[in-house]
Structures are given as structure tokens and as C-alpha cells.
Amino acid sequence: MGYRDYFKSVKIEMGGTVLLKWVLILKEFKEEWKRTSCTIMSDGWTDKKRRSICNFLVNSPKGTVFLYSLDTSDISKIADKVFKMLDDVVEFVGEENVVQVITDNAANFKAAGELLMKKREHLYWSPCAAHCIDLIFEDFEKHLKVHQITIKKGRRITTYIYGRAMLISMLKKFTKGRDLIRPSMTRFATSYLTLACLHELKASLMSFFSSNEWKSSKFGTSIEGRKIEHVVLDSRFWKNVTTCLKVAAPLMVILRLVDSDVKSAMGFIYEEMDSAKEKIKFNFNNIKKR
């Protein structure tokens, strides 16, 4: 569905007063875009019905405004169709007003971005900084064996504990109510954030899995429970957690910065990435093979 079809449907779903108010707000923003130019941003996600949805927003010094959403289930994997979708958005906003278009860094969007710059020579396609960092985390997990194994063990611990309400209650007595899992902004960053939480609560976890309360419980006497206990009390596991975080922690700091609404990322992203590289080198004593 293109943006013209979207606006036909939105008239049905939105009340007349709400639609009119939205149109007036959009008109104010359009006047600002003519004066200062703007950036088009796309945000892809998957809904509960497993449909691919893409939200389009426009950012300018006046602020960020939502344009519309499209069901991209049938087009998100095809570069030519993605290009047409992006081109339609630029047409709607006005090519003369657009400085750049930001999407994720998937191959189809990258190819579509190149096509868009060839057609509209006065704008730039840029990959989303948060998505690029998320892909770095994905590469760590895929290509570094110690990361792959350690993350898998970390997931085993949290999955086992959070699948049993009674066990969560028992553990929280040792962690003083703190959780092992925290929500994160991206899929792969969540894996490393979980490792960071485990590392922070290492002493509490080891105390819990060494306690009489654990050992005398039905969990502590089960085969699966003993396997989890072995992982938690294994010093090599914790050494590997530290190794993973030496690489991931500096990048997690940047991910929080670029995902923030406080200020635009472009002004500091390059300096922060250089700083992260130096921090990672320092964490490994400048020994490249480590």
C-alpha cells in the first residue's frame, strides 16, 4: 500500500476532527521544512501477526513528526520495491526539503538507498547508527566462539530462572529484589545487557546457588537445576563474561547515546566510536590477537 492509499484508509479509521488537527500540525512542519530542510527516518518492526511494518517520520529543528505507516510484508525484501517506497516518501515531503533519508542497514535498504541517491542527487541515504551497532553485536555473537558460548550459557541461566515463579522469588532474596533481565533497545544488545546484569549480580548468584535453600529445594535436586548450578559456580564462565563485556561495554554506551532523544547523534558518533575502539584496545592491553 502506497502513501496515497494509506491516506484514503486513514480517513476511515480517524475521526474527522483528529484528522484535521493532524493535517494542520503537518502543515506547520512543512513550512519549517522549506526553511531549514529535514531528514526522513524509517523505523521497521514486526507486529503480533508477524507482518512487517515501516513507520515514516520526519525530523527537523522544529522536532520529529509522524507521517504514516505501511505494511511492507510483500516489499521489504525487494530492493526495487523498497526504493519505490522511499521515493514516494521523498515525493510527499518534497525533494527540495530533504537532506537525508535514514533507514536500517539491511542489504535491501542499502541498495534502495543507492538507487534513491542516483535519482535524487541532492539528498543522502544514511544507515541508522543504532542498527549498525546492533549488527556489530550480532557479528560478535556469530563469529567469536567465546561470545557465542558465553551468551548461550547466560541465556540458559535466565531462561531457567524466569521460567519458574517460585525460583524468581527465592533468588530475589539474594539479589535484594534486582532482576537479571532488563529491557534493551535492540535484539543483540539484549544478550550483552543480560551478561552485564549477571556480572553485576555475580556474588548474589553464587551465594544463592551455594545456599542450603537452593540445595534443599526441588530445583536444586533436579538434573536440570544442577546443570545450571554448575554453570553459575564455574569460574571459567565468569572469566568469559568479563572478556565479552570488555568488548561490548564501550559500544553499549554509544548505543544508549544514539538511541536517546536528548540530542542528535551525528555530532558525536564518530568521536565516540573512535573512543570506544581505544577503550577496547586498552581493555585487552593493546594485544591485537586478544
pLDDT in tens, 216-269: 999 999 999 999 999 999 999 999 999 999 999 999 988 888 776 655 666 678
- So what's the pLDDT on residue 225? 95
Query: What domain range is 18 assigned to?
Result: 3-127
- Closest alpha carbon to 255 in 195, 194, 187, 197: 187
Residue type, 205: L
Same domain for 140 and 268, yes or no, is yes
Report the range of poorest mean pLDDT among 9-23, 156-170, 258-272.
9-23
Domain edge (last residue) among 94, 127, 160 = 127
85 shares its domain with 173: no
Angle between helix axes 202-210 and 165-175 (nearest 10 degrees) is 120
How far is 118 from 134, CA to CA, in rounded Å? 28
* Start-to-end Cα distance in the chain: 50
Of the candidates 159, 201, 160, which has an alpha carbon nearest to the alpha carbon of residue 179? 201
d(CA 84, CA 117): 12
Binned at pLDDT 50, 70 and 90, residue 53 comes out as confident
pTM of this prediction? 0.76
Q: Indicate if 150 and 269 belong to the same structural domain.
A: yes
C-alpha cell at 87: 521515493
187 and 152 co-located in one domain: yes
Is 151 domain-assigned? yes
Claim to verify: residue 191 and residue 264 sit in the same structural domain = yes
> Does residue 161 sit in the same domain as residue 112?
no
- Residue 138: pLDDT above 50? yes
CA distance 219 to 164: 9
**Amino acid type, 29:** F
* Residues 143, 118 within the same domain: no
CATH number at residue 27: 3.30.420
Where among 127, 144, 159 does a domain terminate? Answer: 127
Determine, yes or no, domain membership for 185.
Answer: yes
Question: Do 35 and 76 fall within a single domain?
Answer: yes
Cα angle: 46, vertex 135, 87; to 5 degrees:
60
Query: Do 166 and 216 fall into the same domain?
Result: yes
Tell whether 188 and 265 lie within a shared domain.
yes
